[in-house]
Chain A
Amino acid sequence: MFRYASDQALYFDRPPRETDLAALARIDGVVNLHPAYESTLIVFDPLRTTHEAVERAARLAATAEQRPGRHHTIPVFYDGPDLLAVAEHHSMAGERVIELHASAEYSVAFLGFVPGFAYLTGLPAALHTPRRAEPRQVVPAGALGIAGAQTGIYPRTTPGGWQLIGRTPVELFDPAGDPMSLLQPGDRVTFFPA
Chain B
Amino acid sequence: MRIVVTSPGMLTTIQDLGRAGHGIQGVSRAGAADALALRVGNRLLGNPEGAAALEMTLLGGTFAFPDGARIVLTGARPAAMPVYQRMEMAPGEECRLGAFVAGARCYLCVAGGIDAPLTAGSASTHLPSGLGPAPLRKGDTLRFHGGGAGSGRVPEELTRYETRIRVTRGAQWAQCNEEVFYASEYEVTTDANRMGLRLAGPAAASGQNGQMVTEGVPLGAIQIPSNGQPILLFVDQQTTGGYPKIANVISADLPNVAQLRPRDRVRFQLVSPEEARRALLGQEELIRQI
- Give A contacts to B, CB under 8 Å: 3-9, 11, 21, 25, 31-41, 43, 46-47, 50-51, 110-117, 119, 130-131, 148, 156, 158, 173, 175-176, 179-181, 185
**Contact among A8, A51, A112 with B214 in the assembled complex (CB-CB below 8 Å):** A112
Q: Mark B200-232, 1 if CB is under 8 A from A, else 0.
A: 000000000010011111111100000000000
Complex Cα gap A7–B284 (Å): 15
**Contact among B26, B119, B250 with A111 in the assembled complex (CB-CB below 8 Å):** B26
Given A7-B251, A31-B20, A114-B26, A158 contacting B128 (CB threshold 8 A)? yes
- Chain B: number of interface residues, binned into ranges: 35 or more
Contacting pair B248 A43 (CB below 8 A): no
Contacting pair B27 A180 (CB below 8 A): yes
Q: Please give the distance in Å from A61's CB to the nearest CB on chain B.
A: 15
Given A31-B20, A181-B26, A7 contacting B277 (CB threshold 8 A)? yes
**Contact among B23, B126, B219 with A6 in the assembled complex (CB-CB below 8 Å):** B219
Complex Cα gap A47–B276 (Å): 12
Tell me whether B131 is interfacial, beta carbon within 8 Å: yes
Most B C-beta atoms less than 10 A away, residue of A5, A131, A179? A5
- Give B contacts to A, CB under 8 Å: 20-27, 29, 119-120, 126, 128-131, 168-171, 210, 213-221, 238-241, 248-251, 273, 276-277, 280-281, 284
In the complex, number of A-B residue pairs with CB atoms less than 8 Å apart = 149
Nearest B residue to A179 via CB reads: B25
Contacting pair A112 B240 (CB below 8 A): yes
- Top 7 closest pairs, chain A to chain B, by CB: A41-B216, A34-B216, A112-B240, A115-B129, A111-B26, A7-B276, A6-B248
Complex Cα gap A102–B111 (Å): 57
Most A C-beta atoms less than 10 A away, residue of B20, B27, B128, B277? B27
Contacting pair B238 A114 (CB below 8 A): yes
Complex Cα gap A43–B170 (Å): 15
Contacting pair B215 A39 (CB below 8 A): yes
Complex Cα gap A52–B104 (Å): 36
Given A34-B23, A115-B26, A5 contacting B241 (CB threshold 8 A)? no
Contacting pair B276 A41 (CB below 8 A): no
Nearest A residue to B250 via CB reads: A7
Q: Please give the distance in Å from A118's CB to the nearest CB on chain B.
A: 8
Contacting pair A8 B218 (CB below 8 A): yes
| List of B residues within 8 angstroms of A185 by Cβ | 24
Contacting pair A4 B169 (CB below 8 A): yes
Contacting pair A175 B130 (CB below 8 A): yes
**Contact among A6, A21, A111 with B218 in the assembled complex (CB-CB below 8 Å):** A6
Complex Cα gap A37–B26 (Å): 13
Nearest A residue to B252 via CB reads: A7
Q: Please give the distance in Å from A97's CB to the nearest CB on chain B.
A: 21
| List of A residues within 8 angstroms of B210 by Cβ | 130-131, 148
Complex Cα gap A46–B250 (Å): 11
Given A8-B219, A32-B20, A180-B27, A37 contacting B214 (CB threshold 8 A)? yes
* Given A47-B281, A180-B27, A185-B24, 11 new contacts (CB under 8 A): A6-B251, A7-B273, A21-B24, A31-B21, A32-B20, A35-B23, A43-B219, A111-B24, A113-B240, A116-B129, A173-B129
| List of B residues within 8 angstroms of A131 by Cβ | 210
Q: Please give the distance in Å from B29's CB to the nearest CB on chain A.
A: 6
Q: Please give the distance in Å from B122's CB to the nearest CB on chain A.
A: 12
Nearest A residue to B129 via CB reads: A115
| List of A residues within 8 angstroms of B131 by Cβ | 115, 175
